[in-house]
Structure 1
Amino acid sequence: MSLPRSCRPAALSTREIAPPYARLQLPHHSRRFSGLSRPSPQYPHHVPLGFFEKGFLAVGSAAGALLNPRRADLIATLGEVTATPHFVYRLRNAMLEDRTGRQILRDRPRITSETLQLPYLRSLPENSVGRAYATWLDREGVSPDTRNNVQYIDDPECAYVMQRYRECHDFYHAVTGLPTFVEGELALKAFEFLNTLIPMTGLSMFASIRLKPAERERLFSLYLPWAVRSGLSSKELINVYWEKILEKDVDELRAELGVEKPPDMREIRRMIRTQKKREKERLEEKNA
Structure 2
Amino acid sequence: MSVLGKRSVVLAARDLNLLSFSAPLTLTLTHSLRSRARPFSVFNRPPPNYPGHVPLNFVERGALAVGSAVGALLNPRRADLIAACGEATATPYFIYRLRDAMLSDPTGRQILRDRPRITSESLQLPYLRTLPPNTVGRTYATWLDREGVSPDTRDNVQYIDDPECAYVMQRYRECHDFYHAVTGLPIFVEGELALKAFEFLNTLIPMTGLSLFASVRLKPAERERLFKIYLPWAVRSGLKSKELINVYWEKVLEMDVDVLRGELGIERPPDMREIRRLIREQKKRERELLERQGA
Letter in 1 for 2:212: M
Does the CA-based 8 Å contact 2:200-2:208 persist in structure 1? Answer: yes
**Contact in 1 for aligned 2:135/2:253 (Cα 8 Å):** yes
User: Structure 1-normalised TM-score?
Assistant: 0.89
Contact 1:126 1:132 in 2 (8 A): yes
Q: Secondary structure at the match of 1:222?
A: helix
Show the counterpart of 1:233: 240
Normalised by the length of structure 2, the TM-score is 0.87
| Separation in structure 2 between the aligned mates of residue 198 and residue 58 of structure 1, nearest angstrom | 13
Corresponding residue for residue 249 of structure 2 = 242
Amino acid at match of 1:193: F
Is 1:221 matched with 2:228? yes
Superposition pairs for residues 1-288 of structure 1, below 5 Å? Answer: 29=35, 32-288=39-295
Distance 1:254 1:32, change over 3 A: farther
Structure 2 residue runs of 5 or longer lacking an equivalent are 1-30
Tell me the CA shift for residue 114 of structure 1: 1.3
Q: In structure 2, what is the Cα distance between the partners aligned to 1:35 and 1:218?
A: 46
1:210-265: CA deviations, max 9, x gaps?
00000000000000000000000000000000000000000000000000000000
Whether the 8 Å CA contact 2:41–2:57 is kept in 1: the answer is no
Which protein has the larger Cα radius of gyration, Structure 1 or Structure 2? 2
Question: Which residue identity lines up with residue 146 of structure 2 in the other structure?
Answer: R
Q: Which amino acid aligns with 1:144?
A: P
- Matches of 1:75 and 1:35, distance apart in 2: 24
Q: Counterparts of 2:212 and 2:39 in 1: how far apart (Å)? A: 35
1:209 CA drift (Å):
0.1
What CA RMSD, in Å, does the superposition of the two structures yield over aligned residues? 1.3
Q: Which portions of structure 1, spanning 4 or more consecutive aligned residues, are displaced by more than 6 angstroms?
A: none
Contact 1:32 1:39 in 2 (8 A): no
Q: CA deviation at 1:32?
A: 4.9
Q: Check the 8 A contact 1:176/1:262 in 2, yes or no.
A: yes
The structure-2 alpha-carbon separation of the partners of 1:250 and 1:35, relative to structure 1 and needing over 3 Å to count, comes to closer
Q: Which amino acid aligns with 1:86?
A: Y
Superposed CA offset, 1:161-184 (max 9, x none): 000000000000000000000000
Report the counterpart of residue 4 of structure 1 in structure 2.
Answer: none
Alpha-carbon distance in structure 1 between the residues aligned to 2:263 and 2:86: 28
| Same amino acid, percent of matched pairs | 81
* Structure 1 Cα separation of the partners of residues 71 and 138 of structure 2: 35
Unpaired runs of 5+ in structure 1?
Answer: 1-26
Give the length in aligned residue pairs: 262
How far residue 146 of structure 1 moved from its aligned partner, in angstroms, is 0.7
Structure 1 residues 171-212: Cα deviation after superposition (integer angstroms, max 9, x where no partner): 000000000000000000000000000000000000000000
Distance 1:86-1:75 versus aligned 2 partners, 3 A rule? same
